[in-house]
Every structure is written in structure tokens, then in C-alpha cells.
Amino acid sequence: MTDKPSSDKPWGGRFTESTDAFVEAFTASVTFDQRLYRYDIEGSRAHARMLARVGVITAEERDTILAGLDAIEKQIEAGEFEWSVSLEDVHMNIEARLTALVGEAGKKLHTGRSRNDQVATDLRLYLRDQIDATCAELLRLQTGLLELAEREADTIMPGFTHLQVAMPVTFGHHMLAWFENLQRDRERLMESRRRVNVMPLGAAALAGTSFPIDRHYTAELLGFDAPAENSLDAVSDRDFVIEFCSHAALVLTHLSRFSEELILWASAQFDFIDLPDRFCTGSSIMPQKKNPDVPELVRGKTGRVTGNLMSMLMLMKGQPLAYNKDNQEDKEPLFDSVDTLLGCLRAFADMVPALQVKNNNMRQAAASGYSTATDLADYLVRKGVAFRDAHEIVGTAVRLGIDSGRDLAEMELAELQSLSPAIGEDVFDVLTLEGSVSARNHFGGTAPQQVREAIVRAKQRLT
């Protein structure tokens, strides 16, 4: 047992012995939830103003409380606030300090609320800001992708399926594919923000309060769209945390896939791009090495954020209504997902516009993998050959090219005509890389003209 009397706790009146020292440390959350201090103070300010408005406290008491909260905020930001594990969490630490500063008025602040609705409110205020910060970084990365796509709208590279050369595409078109992934990510986050922006405050422990509170006024002060409809749901819901963790895992899954491409492209075997030195490191033993550490770390960090999502799902799966102590475990996965996601997005937003593209190497790779085979099949179909027959003819041509070490465009006209009389002199127009990408000149296609038009539309979607 500790030698601290139970009356030191704001909830200690019912207890006859002090909390065990280990249990006190084991159940405390202040070591990690203190980062919510700004939102806790913001919520307390609004609650004090509401209590004064409805006559539960006087205007003088309100002003005393607000002055005390201002002083506490300054102490915390100056690093002068002493956090106490014995006071368990950010809420009780601030409330105890407020009472010490302003006396009796500080004890009245908690009227009509509970730590249950208080922490749910703090989390929603916090997450609302983090969603805005995440969307801003996504927007910055998307803008960088558009800059890169515009710069390389004509650059030809091999498009891959199964990591095998499939058809030629433009590098700008490839970058726009990643833009679309991130656009969906940003839209999902903005949509979920509306569900985050609902106020639990006033639900108290679980059933509401007998005091004549004005929850709509408090919601207005805090910038919430509305107060939560049901008090039980208000204090026990963590869907909004799970939803953010899900979105974070999906964003990082996209960045991880993008990272894999950058790592491959930067390798000596591909040699498609050069990553700026400031985003790479060297080897302690091999002086020639230039390691793509940023994309590798992003690829690795994706696992921990996916793990955070699993933690949240398992945390909530067995909880009855309403609040349970289990929910103290919601913060560390959320905080880690926020920090990891923002860090990865910042790194990518800085790195992507600075990529150096090796146009000639990409072109050579596209020219060496029979990437225009489909164009030859389409050519034959336009000449009246059934597609399945055209497919077989082109497959034979590719086999001939493999055996002789030549690409389709390097073959003699007579060789191609021996495979099908439908082939004419105009066949070489479709066997060039430029002819192939330019032929895909439709909405959503890889033709440079379509890439530039897509960039214009994409810029409009960012506004």
C-alpha cells in the first residue's frame, strides 16, 4: 500500500484504503495522454462558459476558472507543469492544478460532466486537428505528383503486370495512378471528419446529467457540428478512432506499394530513377552503396500502423456499453498511427517532386520486352482478323523475336507478313513506342495528350 490517503484522489471518498503503488502506476495514462492537454483545456473553457450561461456557476467563477486554465496552459507550454502519475491522467492533473490555483471555483468546473465524456471530447478535438493536418500533407504530396507527372508527361516507360513488361505507358500516367490512390485517401478522411465532429460532452458518465446544461451551445463553442444524440453511445463509441486507424493503414498501404516501386526503380537492375542523396544513406562497409532508406522505412512502418488498427478492433470487440477502462488503451495506437502517418507523408511530399527520372533507361526497358505486342494484335483485328487468331499470330511473332534476339519493331516486313497476309507496310507505325502510347488517346488513357488533360482536371479536384 502507498502511504497516500484515499482522500487525495478526486474519487477517493468511497474508498477505505489507498491505491496499491504498482496499480497506481499500472492504471495511470498521464505519461501518454498529456499530449491532449490543449484539447482538455479547450473543452474545459467551453464547459465553464456553458455552466455560467445556464446559471450553474456565476460569471465571476467562470472568469476565475478561465484565468486559471490560461495560466495552466502557459505553464505546460513553458515546460513548467509538474505531471503526477498519482493523479492518473491529463484531466485530473489539470483539474487538481486548477483547484490549487483558483480555489473553490476550480472544484465546480467538473459539475455536469465526467471523465468519460471529457476524454471522448478531447479525443475528437485532437483527431479533428490531426485529420486536417493529414489532409494537408496528402494535398502537398498530390501536388508534387502532379508536378512530376507534368514534367514527365511524354516519358515512355514499361508498364508491368506480374512485374513483367506488359505495354508501354508514360511515366506521367503512372504518377497519376498514385494521385488517384491518394485522392481516395483524402476523400475518405474528409468524409470521416464529419463523423468525428460530433460532441460527446454533456453525456457525463453514461446517462447525461440532472443539471440544466446547454449542449448545443457547448458544441457551437467547440466547433462541433452537433452534440451526440445518445449519451451511452457518446462515451463508449470509439468507431471514429478505428475509422482513422483504418484510413491510416490504407494510406500507408498505398505508400508502401509506391515505396516498393521506388526501391526497384532505384536499383542497378532497373536504374529508372535516382533518389536525391538527402533521402538516402550509405553503408558502413560498402562505400559504393546508396540505400533508399526513406521508402524502405515507409514500407516497414506500414506494418505497425496496420497493427494499430488490429489493436483497436480487438480492444472494442468484447466491450459492453458504456465506458470501460479498456478504452484507456485506445490512445497509444491512435497517437502512434497519427505520428507515423504524418511522418511518412511528410517524407514522401518532400521526396517525390525531387525524383530524377532516367528517361533513356526507361525507354530502353520498354523497347526490350515486346511491349507493343498488344498493338500488333489490335492492328490485325482492325485488318479483319479475329482477335483469338490475332493473339496466336502475335504470340508466334514474339517467339520468333525471342529466338532471334530481336524486338517486333526490328523484324523485316517479309517475316511478319509470313505470319499473316493482313500485315502491311503501315505495321511499323503501331510497333513504335510513341505510336503505342499515342494510340491510347482516350479519357483515362496513357497518351501524353490525355495525361496533360488529366493533370488539368486533377488540379481542379485539389481546390
H or E, element range at 133: helix 115-151
Say if residue 27's pLDDT is above 90: no
Residue 248 inside a domain? The answer is yes
Same domain, 284 and 385: no
The last residue of one of the domains, among 363, 384, 400, is 363
Say if residue 3's pLDDT is above 60: no
Same domain, 349 and 391: no
pLDDT band with cut points at 50, 70 and 90 for residue 92:
very high
Instruction: Give the whole-angstrom CA distance, residue 349 versus residue 342.
Output: 10
Say if residue 4's pLDDT is above 50: no
Same domain, 346 and 375: no
Same domain, 18 and 98: yes
**Which residues are marked as active site?**
162, 283
Same domain, 129 and 254: yes
Instruction: Give the whole-angstrom CA distance, residue 401 versus residue 240.
Output: 57
What's 375's domain CATH number?
1.10.40.30
Instruction: Give the whole-angstrom CA distance, residue 148 versus residue 174.
Output: 10
Note the pLDDT of residue 5. Answer: 46
What is the tally of structural domains in the chain?
Answer: 3
The last residue of one of the domains, among 91, 111, 131, is 111
What's 303's domain CATH number?
1.20.200.10
| 104-118, 338-352, 403-417: least confidently modelled range | 403-417
H or E, element range at 160: strand 156-161
Same domain, 184 and 315: yes
- Give residue 35's domain range: 6-111
Instruction: Please write the tens of the pLDDT for every residue from 31-82.
Output: 999 999 999 999 999 999 999 999 999 999 999 999 999 999 999 999 999 9
Note the pLDDT of residue 8. Answer: 63
Note the pLDDT of residue 17. Answer: 72
Instruction: Please write the tens of the pLDDT for every residue from 190-249.
Output: 999 999 999 999 999 999 999 999 999 999 999 999 999 999 999 999 999 999 999 999
Instruction: Please write the tens of the pLDDT for every residue from 153-174.
Output: 999 999 999 999 999 999 999 9
* pLDDT average, residue stretch 356-368: 95
Instruction: Please tell me the number of Cα atoms within 13 Å of 173 on its side-chain side.
Output: 24
The last residue of one of the domains, among 345, 363, 381, is 363
Same domain, 312 and 397: no
* pLDDT average, residue stretch 392-403: 93
Query: Who contacts 317 (Cβ-Cβ below 8 Å, separation ≥6)?
Result: none
* pLDDT average, residue stretch 89-114: 97
Note the pLDDT of residue 22. Answer: 79
Note the pLDDT of residue 369. Answer: 81
More confident call, 111 vs 287: 111
Residue 140 inside a domain? The answer is yes
Distances (CA, A) of 36 to 64, 94, 193, 432: 22, 11, 18, 60
Residue 1 inside a domain? The answer is no
Q: Are 271 and 313 in contact (CB under 8 A)?
A: no
Candidates 86, 112, 98; CA nearest to 37 is 98
Same domain, 282 and 394: no
What's 56's domain CATH number?
1.10.275.10
Instruction: Please write the tens of the pLDDT for every residue from 117-153.
Output: 999 999 999 999 999 999 999 999 999 999 999 999 9
Note the pLDDT of residue 6. Answer: 45
Note the pLDDT of residue 287. Answer: 74
Q: Are 180 and 224 in contact (CB under 8 A)?
A: no
Same domain, 94 and 143: no
Same domain, 152 and 272: yes
Q: What percent of the chain has pLDDT over 90?
A: 88
